[in-house]
Structure 1
């Protein structure tokens, strides 16, 4: 079993990263994914956790060195495909990202950009947008996600900021 913490669109609000890391300090998180608009946030995360942090560049990221635009991350018998999502047309964005991920044999597709949390399943592929813990646009009050991969299946749980304050 693997547990994956997913965060996006933190936009330099390091206190929110500290809040997330403190709230999950006693959980068995195997890796963190940051789906863009990080500034230097992903590097900050890596300095404050002992697990690997993978990040992609968002539309507001200009800090040098730049993160890659997308990542393909191996996990047990499959892959995670992660991108910020801003380079894909708004129309059918989720389906297009799933199509790209599946072409790379990924069964978990992660994107941010919209600041709206949500999940969508297509066959055996799970799409997750963790929303934004810092600047939510979906009236959630701020979210991040924890995805569990167990016996070939992905399960997602959204964590709400008000529940960890």
Structure 2
């Protein structure tokens, strides 16, 4: 299963659409919040979207838990877990939800790691990146044996040194 994960696009609709079109072969699409778009935007058809701290109104849920086959995804923006200061609270939440993969944004820093069997993925920011300085999203490739996370810039070119594979 391949999953497109993006976050923090801050009002960009055409650019989000472009990333989705570049990655049309994926099985699932996740946006980790701060889209600053309305829920009825055509770009979000068949996209799992959560509410970020810059998303106003009640259009999106604060968190989503979705299971496909034997893979459970917990998705939240991260601001409610203070991810800019510590990852401790979100790791506790991931374990509470018995997630296989936790997706979050908010920091604008692309990162992924595994803790206590749970894989945590922050795709970085599509519009206002902190680290790397490139605008990023990621593709998560899940097999029975592993979870591989690969980062790309907006044009679909792989961001070097950001690919990681975790054992399931």
Unaligned runs of 5+ in 2: 158-168
Match of 2:44 among 38, 46, 49: 46
Paired with 2:149 and 2:132, the residues of 1 have a C-alpha distance of 19
TM-score (norm 1): 0.85
Residues 1:104 and 2:85 aligned together: no
Higher relative CO (Cα under 8 Å, sequence separation at least 6) belongs to 1
Q: Does 1:33 align with 2:30?
A: yes
Q: 2:139 — aligned with what?
A: 146
CA deviation after TM superposition for structure 1 residue 163, in Å? 4.7
Runs of 4+ in 1 over 6 A off after TM superposition: none
User: In angstroms, what is the RMSD of aligned CA positions?
Assistant: 1.8
- Secondary structure of the 2:30 match is strand
Give the structure-2-normalised TM-score: 0.83
Q: Which residue of 2 aligns with 1:72?
A: 65
SS at match of 2:18: helix
Structure 1 gap segments, 5+ residues each: none
Deviation at 1:91, TM superposition (A): 3.3
